[in-house]
Structure 1
Amino acid sequence: MKVFKISFIVAFFILFTAGSSSAQDLRLTLDAGVSRPAGDLMDQFSWGYSGGGNFLIRITDNLSLGGRIAYNRWGPDEAEFLEDIDPFDIIDAEVEGEARAFEVVPIVRLTTAYPLSPIQFFLHGGAGLYGLSDEVEVNGNDEDGNPVSEIFGDDWRYRFGAQIGAGLLLGSPDYLSLELYPAFHLIFDGNDDTFQYFSINIGLGLGI
């Protein structure tokens, strides 16, 4: 509940700032890319995809405030899951399922402002609400031919997390530009556990 309150307060502040900003100070970006879970809790999942968008309100030439909404999905690494199962318990096993994460995160971005340069560099970070799900089912037969299944993971849960990223911007921040940036995400999953993943994103930005 505390996570929702904090996210709501920060989001309200950002939207209030957006309402008081001039039109040319608003920038929208849509991006897509690849992502990969990291750490002991998620090493059983392989590369996946990421898609999302940012909105940014320029406060100064170098400072912007805004938010990010994104979705990530990863497929299971079949060999990794089958290593956790006794081969005599399940024969001819098939692995089905996925891990997913979405993020609703207020962000701060620092950007260079080189005059007349078509390339700028930026650093951004933020903290907010993450949703996580990692359900995988292994189906097969026992040695007598009877169907057997095992289920791993959990359904959706909502946690506090943070992200940091850096990259470059090609074009004009006031009009049309291309962004390329990696980002690292750290989510506190309870019981002193953390969930981590990184993403590499490419996006198209438009100043409004």
Structure 2
Amino acid sequence: MFFEAKFKEQEGSAISLDGVPFASIDHNNNYLLVAKFLEEEMRQSIWECDGDKFPGLDDYNFHFIRSCWELLKEDILKVMKEFHRKEILPRGSNATILAHIPKIESPIGLNDYRPISLALAEGLVDLVRNAVSKGILMGCGVDDVALLISSLQFADDVLLFGQPKVNNVFTWKAILRSFELMASLKVNFHKSKLAEV
């Protein structure tokens, strides 16, 4: 009984998404998502990527992969076929790049740094960008420039900007809660501040 009470979901603690219109796909598109990878699809995906970007931590960028396509093609196809068959990515292929931001002026040891996942930071930016593009979040204007700012990020600090409207506050809270669920992190609302600019 003790553990049952501790781990039982509290009434009203779940997020309600009633009335939120989620986009869905038809059966044909669903089939295309689970179909085997075609060589031409993989080639096209690689050619569409910026040549200076690195798909892994091995320093081989897309320009290198494109220039050596005939040599690497069979190995890439083999890896993708194996992924499709087993639905498991090879170890290390889903790695996250961490940036270490100093907490103090002259860091000496690892405890003097704050590790930040760049992928998670980008996830929050995408949530904000999506809300702005759908018109459910209104950023702040900058002087007479036709520019709206909705967020700025530095290390693990985030500044969120919005017009002083109740809907914006609820949208920010929903974005932060979604980020918590996506990243398995907790937003510390006790350290958060709401200020007028």
TM-score bracket, shorter-length normalisation: under 0.3
Larger radius of gyration: 2
**Structure number with higher helix proportion:** 2
TM-score (norm 1): 0.18
